[in-house]
Structure 1
Amino acid sequence: MQKLKLGRSDIMVTDWCLGTMTYGNQTDRADAYQQIDMALDAGINFLDTAEMYPVNPISAETVGLSETIIGEWIAKTGRRSEVVIATKVSGNNPGWVRDGRGYDGDVIRQTVDASLRRLQTDVIDLYQMHWPERGSYMFRQNWTFDPSGQDRQQTMDHMRDVLEALDDCVKAGKIRAIGMSNESAWGMTKWIDQAEALGLPRMASVQNEYSLMCRLYDTDMAEMAVNEDVTLLSFSPLACGLLTGKYQDDVPAGSRLSINGSLGGRMTPRTLPVTQVYLDLARDHGIDPVHMAMAWQATRPFLISAIFGATNVDQLAHLLAGRDVVLTDDLIAEIDAAHKANPMPY
């Protein structure tokens, strides 16, 4: 496990991060507590959650439950000092939280306090906006993305309002660093430009989807990250379980695909055939496909802390067994060739 700096902050995180979005529905409390202990004992120091978690399915009744479970673990174990905690405020939504209202400066001040209470901690290490209020091309919206209805001045005013609220929270000692999620290169540079011009907190990270199967980050976002010192927190590095191979022949009961039917739009006619290309590569090189997918993240030319999730401790044990795997140059070259031949499966 390697340590890396979160943007230009003084926070050091491991290059793997334990995601907790199933805590409270697919993953019960006892399993969640054990997972956190296992991750820390394996050298991981980073947890990611959100006010809207758990998901699969998302419901108003379970909003905040994943944070609550982490808070209970903190109270139970006293290991708060060993872990960096990241959480998020939800943007506009169908009604899961705040009757669908997204976030502005006033909401931020309230939601930070609410997350602190649920997490049973005095400070949130990384506070993130779950998606931009103006909209996002993430989650398969890239195929029909239309930014023509955006109002630039409205966006700039919103960013300033949010940054000023986050600045209040930083000065009050409630949060240490800030980040975005599901954001674009233009959006990230504008958040950073505003912060630098006004002396407000600067984005340290961006949490976007990134895996062997989803590589939208590789161009404009990668250039932004390198030049602006923004750390990628990559979610779904196993492509929502596709890269484990478990969906090639069947749909396991209780799996995400069995619950939502499309893996959030990731299931297309090309998905399973392209998945098989990577499974075959792993087999040919004598490496577990899960370990290959996770180790590949460390080969990229920008800083990544890869957020992985496990429904249960057995899945987590399998993942952790590959924490020291390093890919050969030959395998990396074959992965590059596979991507060029099979781009954008979903």
Structure 2
Amino acid sequence: DHPLRIPGAMADSRPTRSATVATAAVVFSALLDGADAFGASPMASSLPVHTARCKATNAFSPRMMAAPSAMGTKKNVKQMRYNKLGDSDLLVSEVCLGTMTWGKQNSEEQAMKQLDCAFDDYGVNFIDTAEGYPIPLQPETQGDTDRLIGKWMKGRPRDKIVLATKMCGASQRLNWFRDDGKGTRVNRKQVFESLDKSLQRLDTDYVDLFQIHWPDRYVPLFGPNKYDEKMERAATSFEEQLEALADLIKEGKIRHWGLSNETPFGVMAFVSLAMELGLPKPVSIQNSYSLLTREFESGLGEVCSKAHTNVALIPYSPLSAGVLSGKYQLKAPKKSKFSQASLKTPKAKYEGNDPNCRLNLLQGYRERYESSLAPQAVEEYSKLAAKYGVSPTQFALGFVQSRSFVPSTCIGATSVEQLEENLQAFGDDWFTEEMYDDVEEVAARFPDPWRTPQPGGG
């Protein structure tokens, strides 16, 4: 019911890699200017801000959070870099620590070790959780991830941590989250209830970034990607959601808010209405992005550009639930009549397959992977990693962190060893133009591998 419009923005002549991923290095005028109620320490001049991808035409806010450079780091580890998150005053490490397995796939001890490693040894200051974690969503474990993080934070300086959480979008099935037992919605009452319960579990007074995990309205998520008008239903108005989030900011319970699993229409609707009403706009969007899933580069890439809305992408699943690590590649089974591994072969086995791996834990994920061209694309990207002398994991992460629209990449691990391999992919701009060109050649052959079925009815 309102015009989807964005005021004119300045343009910058910073060179871009290609038209599909181009973003102008201009910061959109911050709607929250002067709204920091937390009295955070000024940014230290020695802080290694990653200006190559976070270049701005204006200075950083003098109300930045306390400098993460005070954290200890291993001498043999590349120094962590920090980027401004959209047009917020949050300075985040280029790695965001994902936590969705903690309390289910990972024990408390394992979670604590990962937090210690990331924060103390590598300088990671950005932690992402959600009210629904751990995954898979179950009443018995819901909120356990938050409780682990809250316990860990008791011994840490809160102002050196950028804490992000997410509230559930619309779901009738999730009837154990709210006091009324009627499922989840992004209405005013539930926005406040969700945040208050999260703060209690996390044992903190505020979160730095409060995100809507998925939209309240119908959108084609976690399955078919084609919009079906027949699926449209009544939804909480954008205005009600915006006003509730703005009030949380006024009360000092959240510093900024963001979106997740959102569409170009949703981002534009929220930003346009926020500008019209003079309310805080979203500063970030957490969507899937990887070598195998590059939808962001089309519609959302333009919408979220620094020259337009400056809504920063926090990519999740940069390894596509681990498949880009190469550990799920197939071998032909012994005595097989097939000359090579076939995903249509019931006897085909994964190298190092684990019943507790994400490919098996996430319902329908393995079947979707096996029936698509994703394994063939993974094989090609693994060959590129070998060509350049890095692991498939590091190659995949290097690609994501090299994108100009990515200030911080959300990574998850099931062990400290896995986490450290991931973290070694960050710290400098090692992903070259030649690597990118090779990626584009593979992408031209496998443009949307997750959604492309195998020939012959895979």
The answer to whether the Cα contact below 8 Å between 2:84 and 2:92 also exists between their aligned partners in 1 is yes
The answer to whether the Cα contact below 8 Å between 2:163 and 2:207 also exists between their aligned partners in 1 is yes
**2:294 corresponds to 1:190:** no
Partner residue in 1 for 2:85: 6
Query: Which runs of 5 or more residues in structure 2 are unaligned?
Result: 1-79, 331-349, 451-458
**2:332 corresponds to 1:248:** no
- Deviation (angstroms), 1:299: 2.4
Deviation sequence 1:3-55 (CA, Å, 0-9, x none): 22122111111121000000101111111111111111202110010000000
AA partner of residue 230 (structure 1): V
Distance 1:315 1:335 in 2: 24
Partner residue in 2 for 1:71: 150
The answer to whether the Cα contact below 8 Å between 2:85 and 2:407 also exists between their aligned partners in 1 is no
- Deviation (angstroms), 1:97: 2.6
AA partner of residue 254 (structure 1): N
Distance 2:361 2:214 in 1: 23
TM-score by length of 1: 0.93
Distance 1:295 1:278 in 2: 12
Deviation sequence 1:192-218 (CA, Å, 0-9, x none): 111111111210000100000001101
Partner residue in 2 for 1:87: 165
- In 2 relative to 1, CA 78–285 (structure 1 residues): closer, same or farther, beyond 3 Å? closer
**2:338 corresponds to 1:259:** no
Match of 1:119 among 194, 202, 214: 202
Match of 1:235 among 316, 322, 344: 316
Match of 2:246 among 167, 182, 190: 167
Deviation sequence 1:160-193 (CA, Å, 0-9, x none): 1111111111111000000010000111010011
User: Which has more helix, going by share of residues?
Assistant: 1
Partner residue in 2 for 1:145: 227
- In 2 relative to 1, CA 87–266 (structure 1 residues): closer, same or farther, beyond 3 Å? farther
**2:60 corresponds to 1:60:** no
- Deviation (angstroms), 1:339: 0.8
TM-score by length of 2: 0.71
Percent identity between the two aligned chains: 36
RMSD: 1.7
SS, match of residue 176 in structure 1: strand
The answer to whether the Cα contact below 8 Å between 1:297 and 1:304 also exists between their aligned partners in 2 is no
SS, match of residue 132 in structure 1: coil
Partner residue in 1 for 2:382: 279
Distance 1:243 1:192 in 2: 34
Partner residue in 1 for 2:47: none
Partner residue in 1 for 2:57: none
Distance 2:254 2:283 in 1: 12
Q: How many residues align?
A: 340
Q: Which has the larger radius of gyration?
A: 2
- In 2 relative to 1, CA 69–147 (structure 1 residues): closer, same or farther, beyond 3 Å? farther
Deviation sequence 1:101-151 (CA, Å, 0-9, x none): 222111111111111111111110000001011122332331x43145546
AA partner of residue 263 (structure 1): Y
Partner residue in 2 for 1:343: 447
